[in-house]
Structure 1
Amino acid sequence: MTASAAAAVPPVPAPHPGRDAMLVYGLLGFAAGLPFYMFSTVLVLRLQAHGVALTVLGFFAWVQLLPTLKFVWAPLLDRYDVPGFSRFWGKRRGWIMLAQLGIVTAMVAMAWTSDDASLPLTALFAVLLAFWTTTLEVAADAWRIELFPTQDQQGPIVAANLWGYRTAMVAAGSGALLLADTGGWAVAYLLIAVAAFLPFPILVAMKPEGGAGGGRMVALAAGVAGGAVILAIACAVTAIVGYALLSIAAGIGIDAGSNVTPWVLGLCMVPFLAMAAALPWIRRAPPTAPIRTSTAIGPYVDFFWRYGYGAILLMVFVSLYRMGDVLALNLSKPMIKELGYSLSQIGRADGVVALAASMVGVGLGGWMVTRRPMAWALAVGAVVAGIGNFGFVWLAHRQVNEAMLYVATGLDQFGNGFAGAVFVVYLSLLVNPRYPGAQYAFLTGFAFLLPRMLAGAGDRWSG
């Protein structure tokens, strides 16, 4: 075939995710979304039910900061395999399976300590649950980017993942409380743990990675045994680090009433701002330079090396794009309550109405990126999200009316879901396929640093 004839042959379109892939990623989103409330909102309500002082609850709120720090250990998921699991199912599935074992173990432990008689133990298992939940998200995102690298492929798979995640948030937020009310906190944590474990047997039944040899059951047994060792090490390290950090905090006068969120999030920004300042040096670094080959910082240096000074503009853009949604998420509920709406009315709006609107928004956002250029989809997403945020301004100038609350909540969640789906695909396309876990963790973590700092400051000001 001549060069001209070859050039005339149209490229083969990339295959779109099939039904099986959509199902798996819907379940992975569900498995990642379920534990989130179990170490945040549900845990706080559980502690309050057991008479834990408000000042002590401040310490437990720090657990929710852990996902912001995922860039610290995300490079390990790109660099290392999980013994047993990864040999048969591959690196990404190996880490997902290990993370699921960690989530189940942590939630069973939280059920075992459901009387909260020992708050240090409760805190330890809550941190472990947050750590393994975040690890699952990092591994699943990396696998998604590797399997479906193009914009057309990312749209439907991101939609499936977000559908599962948002469904799980509603299920955990309301379902766990209903279970606790009828059967107790231990039952709630155990049943949520079972639901979060659903993807594990499906992953076990999947084909091996690259025709790996050896028996499936042998690999499973080796993975469970190796995983038990890793989980024990992670538990010991978490306990030691947690004790050291609390000792240091007590030594410098930080207590449960201190608002450390801006300081922690500010410290998270330091290494990336330092790399931005070191751009001229990074751009001159050869491929064999230690900073480019380092397991710990190499993936992040690579991002700045590839995009140059454009990396700074990208960081500014990703930190601003979802700011309105984050601020609305943190500040809208107190505002709605002050307008005169009851907790029951807010709860009903946040249930079926919010979930349905969000699901439609996610689906349309995922469809949009398969039909339009990314810049166009991002612009539409920003407009739709802005209209959704403006719905609360409109609500503030109306008399209390539950139907109007449904409209405002629906607009907000539709815009949130639409912009969220587009944004996830956009960030996925920015990463280097060599470091999908680390670079996506960096981008998603950095994207919410500034909004979370402002939201935290807004909470303080409104108080």
Structure 2
Amino acid sequence: MQLVTTLKDALSVYAHKRVLLILFLGFSSGLPLVLVFSTLSFWLREAGIERTAIGYFSWILTAYSVKWLWAPLVDKIRLPLLANWLGQRRSWMLLAQIALVFGIWGMSNSDPAANIEHLALFALLVAFASATQDIVIDAFRIESAPEKMQAALAAASLLGYRSAMIIGTAGALAVAAWVEPSTHGYHLHAWQFSYKVMSALMLVGIIVTLFAKEPVVDKQQNQLLDDKIKSQFREKYPQQVADILSWLYSACVIPFSNFFNRYGKHAIVILLLISTYRISDIVMGIMANVFYVDMGFSKEEIAFLSKVFGLIMTLVGAAFGGILLAKFGTMRILFLGALLTAVTNLLFAVQAMVGHSVPLLTVIISIDNFSAGIATAAFIAYLSSLTASGYSATQYALLSSIMLLFPKFVAGFAGAYVDAFGYVNFYVVASLIGFPVLWLICLVNRTERA
């Protein structure tokens, strides 16, 4: 009875209104990512684009890695009219979401075989708008609830995010297969219609943004610091010049100096951990759908067999990760997630040796997605704990960008590596590069306790 009561209390937090809002915003955040990543790679491969070119094409995702460059604008600039109506966070969310609808619709009117540059331009717009949306949603999530709820919010965000990724992959493939049931040949109009449907699904985020409540943040201390900086600049420069310089300093320098002032010399180790935590998963993921195509799996098999079980295990893994975070703390589950991610990548090497086997792929994706649910929930909670009130958009954008920059760069060479050494060697190496992360987690944990 006590176990049932404890479990009920642990799960009750997921029924909170703010948690449910973050769930749907997580969906809005996850959908565009796969449309310029894994699903797009599937489309490009069917269109006859070479693996090496697909790998280089993934560098469009660099927008996610450098979003900290314009995150200070999201923290500081109030959008005319929209900010008065919706508030600072929701106004930026709505602007990004409108751009996403337009960008995905533009991708749906492209033909990669005839004019890949047209598709690349709209994919770049989607990546930029999506990265901007992520900046605001992350800040909205961090500012929406106290620290004790952040683990649940992280898990909810991941649930929505991963659900959208499944819909953006399995759903997009299913729609394309429904439009053109034939499994033979490449059908451009099927992919174009599928992307139009994905564009319409972005309305979910717009609806939530319009009906959500703007978070209330106490910025009094930050305002006092801004006033002090402005006063110091006015002592040295004319008023207009001083106001511009003080604004730039407050927006672009203070959020970063605040982070290093709080963590001191340990900040370097923390940043090193952040920059490598997901390297194994990201390097492996860039070739995932290309791998499925080369192994002979059809769109129906990936959409309705593998991904269905993968979605279930992702949801279970994320929810379970949230419970584990509340019970055992962030660092222990962060370690567990990194270990599971590295180990599960070896399973894809087994798939490469076996070849086309739907039951085996279903099991492997189920285990992999369950592990990813735990790891990502822990990592989101950890990144959120590192931010300071008033600077959450800029600091979280910096941290999450650092998380992607190095792994995405390495992942760009994945196609060339597979061409040179094969899939089995690729997945073994993708697994091995994840194990040094475990040492970094232990090192950060020791420095935090010191």
**AA matched with 1:314:** I
**AA matched with 2:159:** W
Tell me which residue corresponds to 2:163.
167
2:170 is the alignment partner of 1:153: no
Q: How does 1:24-103 map to 2 (within 5 A)?
A: 24-44=21-41, 46=43, 60-103=57-100
1:374 positional shift:
2.2
**Is the CA contact (8 Å cut-off) linking 1:155 and 1:366 kept in structure 2?**
yes
Kindly tell me: are residues 457 and 315 of structure 1, through their superposed partners in 2, closer, same or farther at Cα, counting changes over 3 Å?
Answer: same
Counterparts of 1:325 and 1:64, CA distance in 2 = 15
Counterparts of 1:395 and 1:54, CA distance in 2 = 19
Kindly tell me: are residues 362 and 58 of structure 1, through their superposed partners in 2, closer, same or farther at Cα, counting changes over 3 Å?
Answer: closer
**AA matched with 2:296:** S
**AA matched with 1:205:** F
Counterparts of 1:124 and 1:334, CA distance in 2 = 22
1:25 positional shift:
1.5
1:17 positional shift:
6.8
**Structure 1, unaligned runs of 5 or more:** 1-14, 211-284
SS in 2 for 1:83: coil
2:401 is the alignment partner of 1:445: yes
2:421 is the alignment partner of 1:415: no
Tell me which residue corresponds to 1:122.
119
1:298 positional shift:
3.4
Q: How does 1:334-353 map to 2 (within 5 A)?
A: 341-344=295-298, 350-353=306-309
Kindly tell me: are residues 43 and 379 of structure 1, through their superposed partners in 2, closer, same or farther at Cα, counting changes over 3 Å?
Answer: closer
1:112 positional shift:
4.5
Counterparts of 1:329 and 1:56, CA distance in 2 = 16
**AA matched with 1:426:** Y
Q: How does 1:88-237 map to 2 (within 5 A)?
A: 88-113=85-110, 119-150=116-147, 152-181=148-177, 182=179, 184-207=190-213
How many residue pairs end up in the alignment? 372
**Is the CA contact (8 Å cut-off) linking 1:88 and 1:209 kept in structure 2?**
no
1:461 positional shift:
3.0
Q: How does 1:178-327 map to 2 (within 5 A)?
A: 178-181=174-177, 182=179, 184-207=190-213, 293-327=249-283
Q: TM-score, normalised by structure 1?
A: 0.69
What percent of counterpart residues are identical?
29
**Is the CA contact (8 Å cut-off) linking 1:114 and 1:185 kept in structure 2?**
no
Kindly tell me: are residues 93 and 16 of structure 1, through their superposed partners in 2, closer, same or farther at Cα, counting changes over 3 Å?
Answer: farther
Kindly tell me: are residues 111 and 384 of structure 1, through their superposed partners in 2, closer, same or farther at Cα, counting changes over 3 Å?
Answer: closer
Kindly tell me: are residues 453 and 59 of structure 1, through their superposed partners in 2, closer, same or farther at Cα, counting changes over 3 Å?
Answer: closer
In terms of mean alpha carbon deviation, does 367-376 or 40-49 score higher? 40-49
1:69 positional shift:
1.5
Counterparts of 1:119 and 1:393, CA distance in 2 = 31
Counterparts of 2:345 and 2:327, CA distance in 1 = 25
Deviations 1:154-181 (A, max 9, x none): 1221222111111111212132234345
1:428 positional shift:
0.5
Tell me which residue corresponds to 1:263.
none
Taking only aligned residues, the RMSD between alpha carbons, in angstroms, comes to 3.6
Tell me which residue corresponds to 1:433.
389
Deviations 1:339-364 (A, max 9, x none): xx532466666411221111111111
1:99 positional shift:
0.9
Q: TM-score, normalised by structure 2?
A: 0.71
1:44 positional shift:
5.0
Counterparts of 1:333 and 1:104, CA distance in 2 = 24
1:114 positional shift:
5.8
Counterparts of 1:38 and 1:376, CA distance in 2 = 33
**Structure 2, unaligned runs of 5 or more:** 1-11, 180-188, 217-228, 234-244, 420-450
Deviations 1:226-275 (A, max 9, x none): xxxxxxxxxxxxxxxxxxxxxxxxxxxxxxxxxxxxxxxxxxxxxxxxxx
1:135 positional shift:
0.9
**AA matched with 1:364:** F
Counterparts of 1:451 and 1:317, CA distance in 2 = 12
**Is the CA contact (8 Å cut-off) linking 1:17 and 1:148 kept in structure 2?**
no
**Is the CA contact (8 Å cut-off) linking 1:30 and 1:167 kept in structure 2?**
yes
1:324 positional shift:
2.9
